């Protein structure tokens, strides 16, 4: 009977410790969110009042006298407003990367910088260079190192607070080409959400976001409550034995 009572006590202790340590927790949830609006705006060739919302390319360019910026919008309504974002990564597919000889000199590729856009009211079918919303905070940087591959931007490197975007349900981002050295120029071409509809839009820009509810503590490995329970049982057994009167 003593033996059975001991087993019962151990099981109860493990259950209590598991509840205490896990707190009914769940780990962070991962969300994959495809772009809802994407286009580029261009100041020189277009002309600057032209819209490219239904084109299959997104241009980010830095050239003599001007350039092109890309605008992206993501609907974050799938993530509850009270969640904390712990990771956010932007993915785009680069199909053309241009650098080289320009005006008699060799130039390197440039950085492509992601900035936050506070104004979400722009629409991919109406935004132009002339009416584009301004970009504000730096979110992340990626260096164009060649074409025909996916690029990712870690958008947590500046610890930007995305809670406002969870509340207004949209995250708008501008991609802007920036020189690494003063002589650099570059053109980075990415696919937009309009590319290859017959194949299910395989090159759509997307975000991978990890977020959790603050009241849910991060999940601990199962081993921790079990080891703690065994230690607790052993401690109580020793204490009971020490407290026994000598027979």
In the complex, least distance from residue 95 CB atom to Ca ion, rounded to whole angstroms: 15
Secondary structure (DSSP) of 1-53: -HHHHHHHHHHHHHHHHHHHHHTT--PPEEEEEEEEEEEEEESSSS-TT---T
In the complex, least distance from residue 124 CB atom to Ca ion, rounded to whole angstroms: 5
Nearer to Ca ion, 192 or 229 (CB): 192
Residue number closest to Ca ion, CB atom: 165
In the complex, least distance from residue 202 CB atom to Ca ion, rounded to whole angstroms: 15
Nearer to Ca ion, 110 or 165 (CB): 165
**Closest to 31 in 3D by CA, of 171, 198, 137, 203:** 171
Nearer to Ca ion, 22 or 57 (CB): 57
Return the DSSP state at 213: -
Nearer to Ca ion, 107 or 204 (CB): 204
In the chain, DSSP assigns E strands to 29-42, 57-63, 66-75, 84-98, 100-102, 105-107, 111-117, 138-143, 149-154, 170-178, 186-191, 206-212
In the complex, least distance from residue 229 CB atom to Ca ion, rounded to whole angstroms: 46
Nearer to Ca ion, 62 or 76 (CB): 76
Positions touching Ca ion (CB under 5 A) are 38-39, 53, 120, 124, 165, 168, 170, 192
In the complex, least distance from residue 166 CB atom to Ca ion, rounded to whole angstroms: 9
**Closest to 110 in 3D by CA, of 99, 124, 95:** 99
Nearer to Ca ion, 40 or 212 (CB): 40
The CA-based diameter of the chain, rounded to the nearest angstrom, is 101
In the complex, least distance from residue 180 CB atom to Ca ion, rounded to whole angstroms: 28
């Amino acid at each position: 009977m003593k033996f059975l009572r001991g087993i019962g006590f151990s099981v109860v202790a493990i259950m209590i410790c598991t509840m205490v340590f896990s707190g009914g927790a769940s780990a962070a949830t991962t969300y994959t969110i495809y772009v809802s609006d994407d286009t580029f705006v261009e100041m020189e060739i277009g002309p600057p009042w032209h819209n490219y919302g239904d084109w299959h390319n997104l241009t980010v360019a830095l050239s003599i006298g001007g350039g092109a910026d890309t605008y992206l919008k993501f609907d974050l309504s799938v993530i509850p407003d009270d969640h904390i974002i712990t990771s956010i990564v932007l993915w785009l597919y680069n199909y053309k990367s241009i650098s080289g000889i320009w005006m008699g000199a060799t130039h390197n590729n440039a950085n492509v910088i992601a900035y936050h856009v506070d104004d979400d009211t722009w629409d991919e079918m109406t935004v132009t260079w002339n009416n584009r919303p301004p970009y504000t905070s730096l979110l992340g940087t990626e260096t164009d190192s060649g074409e025909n591959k996916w690029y990712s931007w870690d958008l947590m490197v500046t610890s930007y607070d995305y809670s406002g975007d969870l509340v207004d349900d949209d995250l708008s981002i501008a991609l802007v080409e920036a020189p690494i050295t003063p002589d650099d120029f570059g053109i980075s071409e990415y696919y937009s959400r309009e590319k290859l509809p017959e194949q299910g839009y395989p090159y759509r820009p997307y975000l991978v976001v990890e977020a959790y509810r603050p009241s849910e503590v991060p999940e601990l490995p199962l081993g921790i409550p079990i080891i703690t329970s065994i230690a607790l049982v052993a401690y109580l057994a020793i204490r009971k034995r020490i407290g026994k009167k000598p027979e």
